[in-house]
Amino acid sequence: MQAKIAIGVEYQGTAYCGWQFQKHCLSVQQCLEKALSNIANTPIAVQCAGRTDTGVHAIGQVAHFEYESQRPLRAWVQGVNTQLPKDIRVIWAQSVPENFHARFSALARQYRYVIYNRSVHSAILADRVTWEGRLLDEHRMNVAAQALVGEQDFSAFRAAGCQAAHAKRNVQSIEVSRQQDFVFVDIQANAFLHHMVRNIVGSLMMIGRSEAPVEWIASLLSQGDRTLAGVTAPAAGLYFVNALYPPEFNIPQQPLNRLLWQGS
């Protein structure tokens, strides 16, 4: 009897060339499929909610796979984790109906970008946050970011190598906030273009440093020219937080305080 299983995956992306399998380097997908296959004693292929790039992290990636037999759900958590490197973990597993698809069933994705805004970088948080030594004005950044909300053409924030059919995306919410030395950019959209979040953050950081006016983001959107926007922010600060699904699938959501340096 074939079963479809959804899993939640957490990983630190520093050592990997992103989620997707690639021949020339180690990916999160490659490690996960190998571990699942070892436990299942048969090849397992996984589909994920959103492919992350080299060096990008996740606390709430969702993936699914199909398996031709019955096995306790705890085996897909406890058993698989014994086969994974220490910087990748399955955090939950559950049965899902046949019509569930980790990518195509998702209604939206949430990302958080973490900037460590202190004059000296942290040795402890190296490769886990982006450091900015100059003081950022998070209020200016937040006001500017609101121009991004809604269904719009995001060509100005699209990587040159993006393979998406078009640049229209619906940003449902974006907020820039501060907690002590940390500046957070939280963004939710139906889907994202290649490097879209990092390109947005690079431009917002220029506004936060008063190198560009608050109105600049709206201007960039209207012009649709990537070469006019800020540099791509580093991968180290970006986290895939959640994929959001219709309630009937009952997919767990990860709270932002899973990022331990946020505090409470």
The CATH label, of 3.30.70.580, 3.40.50.150, 3.40.640.10, 1.10.1040.10, for the domain at 3-105 is: 3.30.70.580
Residue found by looking up tokens 């393979």 in the block: 163
Residue ranges matching CATH 3.30.70.580 in the chain = 3-105
Mean pLDDT of 174-196: 96
Outline which parts of the chain fall under CATH 3.30.70.660: 108-240
pLDDT by residue (tens digit) across 224-236?
999 999 999 999 9
End-to-end alpha carbon distance in the chain: 45
In the CATH scheme, what architecture does the domain 108-240 have? Answer: 2-Layer Sandwich (3.30)
Annotated catalytic sites, by residue? 53
Q: What is the residue-wise DSSP string for 43-100?
A: ----EESS---TT-EEEEEEEEEEESS---GGGGTHHHHTTS-TTEEEEEEEE--TT-
Mean pLDDT of 44-54: 95
For residue 109, pLDDT beyond 90 = yes
| Mean pLDDT value across residues 24-34 | 96
Q: What is the mean pLDDT of residues 99-121?
A: 97
Task: Say how far apart CA 148 and CA 154 lie, in whole Å.
Answer: 9
Cβ neighbours around 111 below 10 Å, total: 25
178 bridge partner residues:
183
Confidence of residue 255 (pLDDT cuts 50, 70, 90): confident
Q: Is the pLDDT of residue 116 over 70?
A: yes
What residues have CB less than 8 Å from 104, skipping those under 6 apart? none
Q: Is the pLDDT of residue 259 over 80?
A: no
Crossing angle for the helix pair 196-208 and 138-145, to the nearest 10 degrees: 130
What percentage of residues in the chain have a pLDDT greater than 70?
97
